């Protein structure tokens, strides 16, 4: 019973920047790892970046040096700062959270947001 809501997507020129946000709400006991994934039409969903509750990060090779993932645990929110955007970054970006529900805190659960579209084009 956790909802993830992404925001911040839109149209941006190559070389530009966007910051995506994802806020989690609901019966949350705790959120463990949060991450961003993306999916272009006709392609598989791919991992963009993840961040643990302690702040450890992981980036896919294509995003290293351009994207930065961060989180605010007090707000149950994860961010993705995207710089030097390329046309190939165009995709629907999805937020993901591994969490424990307050009513079943010993079970690991997975939640996904609805996605936010990022279009990189002139």
Cα dist from 38 to 27, 85, 103, 104, 109, whole Å: 26, 14, 30, 29, 20
CB neighbour class for 38 (10 Å; exposed up to 12, middle 13-18, buried from 19): buried
**pLDDT tens-place string over residues 86-115:** 999 999 999 999 999 999 999 999 999 999
| Gap between the Cα atoms of 60 and 48, Å rounded | 5
82 close to 18: Cβ distance less than 8 angstroms: yes
62 pLDDT band, cuts 50/70/90, is: confident
Distance CA 89, CA 119 (A): 8
Please check the confidence at residue 64 and state whether its pLDDT lies above 90: no
pLDDT tens track for 1-51: 799 999 999 999 999 999 999 999 999 999 999 999 999 989 999 999 999
pLDDT confidence of residue 100: 95
């Amino acid at each position: 019973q956790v909802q993830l809501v992404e925001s911040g997507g839109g149209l941006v020129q190559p070389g530009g920047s966007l910051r995506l946000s994802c806020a989690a709400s609901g019966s949350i006991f705790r959120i463990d790892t949060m991450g961003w994934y993306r999916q272009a039409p006709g392609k598989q969903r791919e991992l963009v970046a993840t961040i643990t509750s302690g702040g450890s990060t992981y980036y896919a090779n294509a995003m290293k040096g351009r994207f930065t993932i961060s989180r605010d645990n007090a707000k149950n929110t994860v961010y993705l700062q995207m710089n030097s955007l390329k046309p190939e970054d165009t995709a629907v970006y999805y937020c993901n959270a591994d969490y424990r529900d307050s009513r079943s805190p010993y079970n690991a659960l997975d939640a996904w947001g609805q996605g936010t579209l990022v279009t990189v084009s002139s």
